[in-house]
Amino acid sequence: MGDRSEVSRGLLSAGDGVASSDAGWMRLALEEARGAEAAGEVPIGAVAVFDGKLIARGANRTIRDCDPTAHAEMIALREAAKTIRNYRLAGVSVYVTIEPCAMCAGAMIQARIGRVVYGADDPKGGAVRSCFNVLDNSLLNHRVEAAGGVLAEECAAVLQAFFAARR
């Protein structure tokens, strides 16, 4: 665990020993991203964690599903809700390799998740701080805690390599 990112501070309880820190969960999200890449998708991955346990994994599958909403975070939110049998995901943390877009950030508010942790910023669409600040609006009843920059270089590299290979 050499990651000392600017905002990676909060250690989760090591429930099942799969991962015990933001960087550990992000490594699982990176696995999902690589799985998406292997399937010909833009490599973005996400996982959802509740009570120190992994409850959902998601990989970008917009092409496979012919579904513009099938972002990694959306897949993970849907699976998480099924896992805990509740459409409200209070106390759930979502880890995603790239800063969420406006749709996914909106879905996180709808789901009432507790926290989102992401890897690299997305200057072309990020809705946490790069393009919009969807989660940080004082008019909202529910506030989602957000942290970025966890394994940022690794997360960005996966995406950059993907696009470089297609040029």
Return the closest-CA partner of residue 155 out of 41, 5, 29. 29
Nearer to Zn ion, 44 or 152 (CB): 44
Nearer to Zn ion, 27 or 71 (CB): 71
Distance CA 85, CA 28 (A): 23
Of these residues, 73, 99, 153, 154, which one is catalytic?
A: 73
Could you tell me the sign of the dihedral formed by the alpha carbons of 148, 97, 95, 101, in that order? positive
Minimum CB separation of residue 101 from Zn ion in Å reads 3
Distance CA 136, CA 70 (A): 24
Minimum CB separation of residue 15 from Zn ion in Å reads 27
Minimum CB separation of residue 48 from Zn ion in Å reads 14
Strand segments, DSSP code E, in 43-98 are 45-50, 53-59, 93-98
Residues that bind Zn ion (CB under 5 A): 71, 101, 103-104
Minimum CB separation of residue 134 from Zn ion in Å reads 11
Q: Would you call 73 a catalytic residue per the annotation?
A: yes
Nearer to Zn ion, 52 or 106 (CB): 106
Nearer to Zn ion, 7 or 103 (CB): 103
CA 136 to each of CA 55, 128, 146, 161: distance values in angstroms, whole numbers, following the listed order: 26, 8, 9, 31
Angle, helices 72-84 vs 22-38, to 10°: value is 120
Return the closest-CA partner of residue 26 out of 116, 159, 119. 119
HEC states along 128-141?
CCCCCCCCCCCCCC
Catalytic (active-site) positions: 73
